[in-house]
Amino acid sequence: MTTSAAARQGTPAGYRILNEADLRDTLAATPAVAERLGGPADRWTITEVGDGNLNLVFIVKGAAGGLAVKQALPYVRLVGESWPLPLSRAHYEHLALTQQGRLAPGLVPAIVHHDHALALTAMELLEPHIIMRKGLVAGTVYPGFVGHITTFMARTLFFSSDLALPAAEKKEAIASFAGNHALCKITEDLIFTDPYRVAEQNRWTSPWLDATAAEIRADLDLHVAISRLKLKFLSSAEALIHGDLHTGSIMVTDTETKVIDPEFAFYGPMGFDVGAVIANLLMAYFASAGHERAPGDRAAFEGWVLSTVDRVWTEFADKFVALWRGEAAGDAYPVSLFPGEPGAARLEIERQAYMARLFQDAVGFTAAKIIRRILGLAHNIDFELIEDPKQRATCEARSLRLARTLMLETGSFTSIAAVTKAARESRHWQPEF
């Protein structure tokens, strides 16, 4: 690394960007890691997989097993040194992963080793898991996904909220993630601001979406709506959120689901994580038409995606409320205020009202996550791999049509069925290009 970048970010003493030889020596000197890999260190294979946007990611394999080793760089890998990003994100990712592992056992990779100075974490190698987004592009259905992701969200969000944590513990937890603001700022800018104004980094499928992008940049009601969502993101410290819970942060097999890459984690609004999952499923749904080999050959897949959207909300809400009924140990909604049968019944009504408010947040954030992936800096392979740009633009335009409605008329979407119905309607809408 350059010293200037290091100095700018307050790089810890001992930090250096690891090459293969250096990584081998470092891992060999760490007994827990060496034991896990097994055999002589000089026989380990090390491959830098090179597909991280932010970090170096190495796959290391030995006689006894494999590891994924992630090292943060003092800048955004995809862009280079011109976009510095603090190494402290490795600390927050490790902290989040540790807590998620405790709250949602088996749903995140196990940590084998963390080196603070090197901003490096060695984790269980997920094999034969693939990035879920790639599977969705291929039209693969994941029957176990809904169960896993709703357990992950319900448990990580509930147990870090005021419903589960005493207030003192929650305040300390908020503080422990407050330093992760550089990563939050990326979200604040790229999701909640740039797609709605002229910004150098924006891009979209031109010229087909030029008019829509311009409309969105001029739609002041939409700008009010996204600003309200941004304010919620800035000031609602509801729970420890993953902060980047799209289908590229989820690895799957037929039977397993693992949530990875929580470096954007902080205490924020729960609806942001729920909206991220729903938005990325909806984009997989809209992109599917662009991956057809014959008309209608992905109909079953598309049906599965929409039913998954439905179940993501429904099962998440059921699990969250069940935890609230059984494991509330926090300072919010003290049970002593709801005594006896009538109290229990009234609290149950309020739980449903609470979930209805959370659903509204999720609908708004769903819309925000769709718009940013089509008009902002970071795009999805769901759309990007559609080779015909006009076909891609059609799929994107349908997504944007739904997203605008979700954001402008959030209050009219009082159930997930209303969202999937609107998605189905947009799926067959033909934009006039």
Burial of 81 (0-12, 13-18, 19+ CB in 10 A): middle
- Kindly tell me which residue out of 256, 292, 331, 348 binds its own copies, with binding defined by CB under 8 A: 331
CA neighbor of 201 nearest in space, from 313, 291, 76, 316: 76
- Residues shown for the chain: 433
Is residue 348 part of the contact set for its own copies (CB under 8 A)?
Answer: no
Least distance (Å) between residue 190 CB and its own copies: 13
179 interacts with its own copies by CB under 8 A: yes
Contacts 24+ apart (CB under 8 A), 402-405: 402/282, 402/286, 402/367, 402/370, 402/426, 403/279, 403/366, 403/367, 403/368, 403/370, 403/371, 404/216, 404/219, 404/222, 404/367, 404/371
Q: Which residues contact 134 (CB under 8 A, 6 or more apart)?
A: 381
393 SS3 class: helix
Binding mask 243-272 vs its own copies (x if CB under 8 A, - otherwise)? -----------------------x------
Cβ pair 400, 211 in contact under 8 A? no
Which residue in the set 22, 210, 350, 409 belongs to the binding site for its own copies (CB under 8 A)?
350
Binder among 94, 113, 170, 258 for its own copies (CB under 8 A):
170
The one among 337, 341, 388, 432 contacting its own copies by CB under 8 A = 337
**Residue entry with tokens 């959120």:** 241
**172 near its own copies (CB under 8 A):** yes
277-316 mask for its own copies (x: CB under 8 A)? ----------------------------------------
Residue with tokens 């039977």: 255
> What does the block give as tokens for 408?
């402008």
> Which range in 16-24, 180-188, 298-306, 418-426 contacts its own copies by CB under 8 A?
180-188
Nearest to 383, CA basis, from 373, 208, 275: 373
Binding track over 218-237 against its own copies, x by CB under 8 A: --xx-xx-xx--xx--xxxx
- Site size toward its own copies, by CB under 8 A: 46
Judged by CB under 8 A, which stretch of 6-14, 136-144, 294-302, 335-343 contacts its own copies?
Answer: 335-343
With binding defined as CB under 8 A, does residue 197 bind its own copies?
yes
Member of 334, 341, 387, 430 binding its own copies (CB under 8 A): 334
SS3 category, 378: coil
CA 145 remoteness from chain centre = 15
Stated as kind and residue range, the H or E segment containing 43 is: none
CB of 55 to its own copies, least distance (A): 21
Min. distance of Cβ 264 from its own copies in angstroms?
13
- 164: contact with its own copies by CB under 8 A: no
Segment interacting with its own copies (CB under 8 A) among 116-124, 340-348, 385-393, 408-416: 340-348
Strand partners for 250: 259
Q: Under the criterion CB under 8 A, does residue 203 sit at the interface with its own copies? A: no
- Cα separation of the two ends of the chain: 47
214 binds its own copies (CB under 8 A): no
8 Å CB contact between 132 and 245? no
Alpha-carbon gap, residue 202 to 325, rounded angstroms: 45
Q: Could you list the residues that contact its own copies (CB under 8 A)? A: 161-162, 167-168, 170-172, 174-175, 178-179, 181-182, 184-185, 188, 193, 196-197, 220-221, 223-224, 226-227, 230-231, 234-238, 266, 331-334, 336-339, 342-343, 346-347, 350
